[in-house]
Amino acid sequence: MTVHNEQRSWVESANGHSDFPLANLPLGVFSRDGDQPRGGVAIGDYILDLRAACEAGVFDGQALEAAKAASVSSLNAFFALGASARKALRGALMDLLAEDSAQRERLQGMGESLLQPMNRCQMHLPAKVGDYTDFYVGIHHANNVGLLFRPDNPLLPNYKYVPIGYHGRASTVDVSGSTVKRPNGQTMPPGATEPSFGPSKRLDHELELGIWIGQGNARGESIPIGEASSHVAGFCLLNDWSARDLQAWEYQPLGPFLSKSFATSVSPWVITPEALEPFRCAQPARAEGDPQPLPYLFDQQDQQQGALDIELEVLLLTETMRDKGQPAQRIALSSTKNMYWTVAQMVAHHSVNGCSLQPGDLFGSGTLSGSSADSLGSLLEITQGGKLPLELPSGETRTFLQDGDEIILKARCRRDGQASIGFGECRGRVMPA
């Protein structure tokens, strides 16, 4: 692979692009004008059509194998190929799209048959989700929610020993831009003696990092912590929509069920581990007195380089703001550095009992709130369970989401000497029950 110091591309819009410069090259599944969905790569304001690129003969060897696997209507087969094939494709794409590419003239001559304008394409779920597991690794969120329900004992004893998670509903994971229908369910209103049924009145968002699994493990065989990172195919943004009133009634004793299973939104682009390599950092030190992870969850290299430095943002756009042409309002700015457990620890723990992970499985990190009031990743925390309404510049207030409200998640990676990259958006608008 050629080394590109300035990482400039002949695709002009990629140079200095807020999300998709040459340093990023995330993969997704798109369609245009009713065509069959197929794999593509984001570069600036365009999508490189991998099927067209394969047909044009621009790849060879392992990169060709990877490009063919990624050119179809889901990325599961590409995820299954693992890190070596993924890196080969990335290297070939860097060479093809670099400003000094030997194939520049030929590729430019292919026009829109190769590079599709992103604003004219529809994005699809990047992979078929076989299983979806939602973790709870945001310690500030866990503490804040615990304080609301158990003021004397916010964190249960297992939290600092176990990466807590629950199995979610894979069939209701949907891509950014899909609407979210307000769920119906049972609730127990304060002071009532029996539950009532109807639309959720306390609908909420959750700011999360999504993790796509690549190569899996054989049933009965666990993934060692030192190898866990190699089983991750990529990352996305994830909004785990939550009906807090349904949740409060149903969660005892077995945890979330209908309060979570009605919708989960993910951003359409899979950001590769290689694109995020420059933004790796040490796992934040545990508080004094916290236990050391058990040996199967502890790896020195993972502690030194297993965390990610990704800025996370939540914006809210109400119906009134939309009608007045007002921009979405930021309501939280947080970071993946608020994860108490690393992604590798999540993978190692999920498989330690012999559970088999498969290509296309999806993890959610759990809500990644920070420690400050402006970094809270859910309205449950921002409004302290609905007691302190959030005031918006439009003059409106919110305790929980109303019909017509749209939640937009964004992410940004920055580091001196590195090209900044983003994740694209994860959007969802609430529709009436």
Q: Which residues are catalytic?
A: 141
Structure tokens at 406: 């749209």
CA distance 76 to 64: 16
Kindly state the DSSP code that residue 291 receives in the 8-state scheme. P
Structure tokens at 311: 């800025």
CA distance 283 to 250: 34
Q: Report the candidate in 212, 215, 235, 233 with the shortest Cα–Cα distance to residue 223.
A: 215
381: Cβ contacts below 8 Å, ≥ 6 apart: 141, 144, 145, 367, 369
Across 272-346, the runs of DSSP E, i.e. the strands, are 280-281, 307-308, 311-317, 329-335
Kindly state the DSSP code that residue 75 receives in the 8-state scheme. S
Structure tokens at 378: 């859910």
Q: Report the candidate in 72, 30, 23 with the shortest Cα–Cα distance to residue 44.
A: 23
Q: Which residues pair with 315 in a beta bridge?
A: 330, 408
166: Cβ contacts below 8 Å, ≥ 6 apart: 133, 134, 255, 256
Task: Give the burial string for 222-258 (b: 16+ CB within 10 Å, else e).
Answer: bbebeebbbbbbbbbbbbbbbbbbbbbbbeeeebbeb
Q: Report the candidate in 381, 422, 60 with the shortest Cα–Cα distance to residue 268.
A: 422
Residue 309 burial by Cβ neighbours in a 10 Å radius (0-12, 13-18, 19+): middle
CA distance 317 to 329: 6
Structure tokens at 172: 């209701």
